[in-house]
Amino acid sequence: MLQIRWHGRGGQGVVTAARIFGRAAAIYGGKYAQSFPYFGTERRGAPVTAFTRLSEQPIRDRSQVYEPDCVVVLDETLLESVDVLQGLRPGGILVLNGSRTNHQGLKFKLPENTAFYQIEVTSLAQEILGVPIVNTAMVSVLAAVTSWVPWEAIKKAIQDILPSHLVEKNLRLAEEAFHRALALRQVASSQGGEGEPNSKSKGNLHLPADNLQPNLPTPHLVARTGSWRIQRPVIDPWKCNDCLICWLFCPEGSIRRGESCTSIDLTYCKGCGICARECPRQAIHMVDEALISQGEGERLAGIS
């Protein structure tokens, strides 16, 4: 039996990813499958976990997956607050959606002979879907690097599960991600070994596994919801009249009245975007965190 654990954030479609992969295996891949989520505080942006099991025989086990053969991480910022490698078996697989070439300060130790694949699909999802939702992309990446489920089965499962108006674009995203992941697997194979999921070769093109050591987060860091954020709100001080309507709707209580305009405590802002949607003057804009780090946030938000 193969066991997969999925890590993502509320709103990224983690549970749907587990369902798609399970349905592809069971209905179109000729296997027995099981998929289900772990229920906790499933707020938008909060860490969410889901599971998939695949087998050639009927599956009797209904427990959570504690020792996965594969871990799929939809958001690399989870490495800062979640032990995504917990229980990963030696010879297993880690698939990470991420663009950072240097995860300095994130110290995790990969189990022996782990096949590690890092691929960035968030920008691809933004380009095709218009939103950074990568569940269908990561399902396809997993299919490409493991060959556990055929690509045609993934396509049919996406068509079955997603609403009809979302199918076309998600199929485009999934296919592009699948081919990129195949290329990644081929490069990993050329770097050493046969490139198969449980061989000694590593598909790690970006993050040196030997530099990762155990370092679990402290509880107070986990409580800082700012670590969940993919996008942050940027306030235009020329439009803000300090009406505090955004404060009324903020689920984290992270908005404060300022001297000239409202301010946001980013330590606890999880980037849900409710404040931007509710602002009557359109003074709040959601900007990707990656662009903020490049100093592009205010320009892209249209703030002079």
Same domain, 231 and 296: yes
18-32, 85-99, 122-136, 204-218: the lowest-pLDDT one: 204-218
- pLDDT, tens digit, for every residue of 236-247? 988 998 888 998
Same domain, 146 and 236: no
Mean pLDDT of 120-130: 90
Same domain, 187 and 203: yes
pLDDT score for 12: 86
In one-letter notation, the amino acid at residue 285 is: H
Contact predicate 142/177, CB 8 Å: no
pLDDT band at 272, cuts 50/70/90?
Answer: confident
Residue 112: Cβ within 10 Å count: 10
In angstroms, the Cα distances linking 217 to 79, 82, 220, 268 are 9, 7, 8, 17
pLDDT score for 220: 32
Mean pLDDT of 291-298: 60
pLDDT score for 221: 34
Q: Assign residue 283 the CATH number of its domain.
A: 3.30.70.20
Partnered with residue 263 across adjacent β-strands are 256
State how far the Cα of 232 lies from the Cα of 267, in Å rounded to an integer. 11
Same domain, 126 and 50: yes
Same domain, 9 and 67: yes
168-172, 190-194, 274-278: the lowest-pLDDT one: 190-194
Instruction: Quickly tell me which residue has 């990969």 as its tokens.
Output: 110
Same domain, 47 and 128: yes
State how far the Cα of 227 lies from the Cα of 119, in Å rounded to an integer. 21
State how far the Cα of 99 lies from the Cα of 301, in Å rounded to an integer. 22
Same domain, 231 and 154: no
Same domain, 172 and 242: no
Mean pLDDT of 91-108: 72
Same domain, 74 and 167: yes
Same domain, 198 and 70: yes
State how far the Cα of 57 lies from the Cα of 59, in Å rounded to an integer. 6
Same domain, 231 and 194: no
Chosen domain end from 216, 248, 281: 216
Mean pLDDT of 262-280: 88
Same domain, 196 and 230: no
Chosen domain end from 216, 246, 262: 216
Chosen domain end from 150, 185, 216: 216
In one-letter notation, the amino acid at residue 41 is: T
Domain assignment of residue 259, given as a range? 224-300
Q: Assign residue 22 the CATH number of its domain.
A: 3.40.920.10
Q: How many domains does the chain have?
A: 2
The average confidence (pLDDT) of the chain is 80
pLDDT score for 28: 92
